[in-house]
Amino acid sequence: MGGIPFTTTMILWLNFAITVPVAMALGFDKPAPDLMEHKPRPLRQPVLSRWQWIRIVFLGLIIAAGTLYIENAYQAVDPVPLVATTMAATVFSLFNIFAGITVRSETNCVDPGYHP
């Protein structure tokens, strides 16, 4: 579609139907039991560590590559660009749901069914 991966309507749909519910679900996670015992981070320490930046860039590249691969694969098979764009949006949505699930906690695996 002229070099535009998603239409404006698709971007709004992805934000409201996929990203917002995943973010809300993350917001309702129980905090770590010892959260208030943690000391604040030093003022000079960056908000995101080097490892977090690497993870963000890596996940972004995987999501971009997977979405573009599916879009190109469907463009080669079906001459209708709407099918390729729809498949790309679907794959992008699934990647975002997966990414939301994987960012729950870096230090604590919280299982709602686990009671020590």
Q: Each residue of 15-66: pLDDT tens digit? A: 888 888 888 887 887 777 787 888 888 899 898 889 889 988 999 999 999 9
**pLDDT tens per residue, range 1-11:** 566 778 888 88
Distance between CA atoms of 86 and 27, rounded to whole angstroms? Answer: 29
State the pTM of this model: 0.74
Residue at token pair 């749901």:
97
pLDDT in tens, 67-95: 999 988 988 887 777 888 888 899 999 99
